Amino acid sequence: MRSRAHDRGTVRARSTLALDMQTMSLAPTVPHIRIARPVTSVHRSAVMYCAGLGLKILGEFKDHSGFDGAMVGLPGGGYHLEFVHSAIHQVTPEPTAEDLLVFYIPSRPEWERTCEAMTAAGFESVEPLNPYWRQRGRTFGDHDGYRTVIECNTWSPQTP
């Protein structure tokens, strides 16, 4: 015969286990994101994005199954860009006017410095297809036609 204390202990243990399992299932997993883009020149793209956005070269590879590439980002950041090119597999960059990287920079002086750095790095100022990006940002195109928006704003779920 089991005692009431034993029964209460079992219920408490089950409740704790259920709570722990529920907490674990609700905890968000934050993935590291790689954005891979075919480019006409890995070196040129890496240099431009590092100079314009203050990124660092995180890694490079040569002739990896016929591909050369470079990864750029911020050390310890949650994302990086990968630029790839292959002499064997001909892939032409074909970005559209709405293929955008958007960087939110809330500080006006930092936003202005970043816009200046983008121009100095060789990016061209371009008109955005979506007029929303004109309100608080500037849109830049690289040598392959990929677009980057530098937005003077903070991002939140309410920000479109």
Could you read off the pLDDT of 72-95 as tens digits, one per residue? 999 999 999 999 999 898 889 999
User: 20: pLDDT confidence band, cut at 50, 70 and 90?
Assistant: very low
**Is residue 104 domain-shared with residue 145, that is, in the same domain?**
yes
Return the beta strands (E) in the chain as ranges: 33-38, 56-64, 67-73, 79-85, 100-104, 124-126, 137-141, 147-151
Query: Which of 43, 60, 93 lies at the terminal end of a domain, its last residue?
Result: 93
Q: Which domain holds residue 85?
A: 29-93
| 104 and 159 fall within a common domain | yes
Token pair listed for 27: 């905890």
C-beta separation of 117 from 52 below 8 A: yes
First to last CA, the chain: 62
Q: Are residues 105 and 78 in the same domain?
A: no
Number of domains in the chain: 2
Taken in order 72, 132, 114, 143, the sign of the CA dihedral is: positive
Residue 80: CATH number of its domain: 3.10.180.10
Is 4 among the domain residues? no
For residue 105, tell me if it sits in a domain: yes
Rounded to whole angstroms, how far apart are CA atoms 102 and 127?
14
Mean pLDDT of the chain: 86
Indicate the residue among 61, 93, 125 that finishes a domain: 93
Give the whole-angstrom CA distance, residue 11 versus residue 125.
64
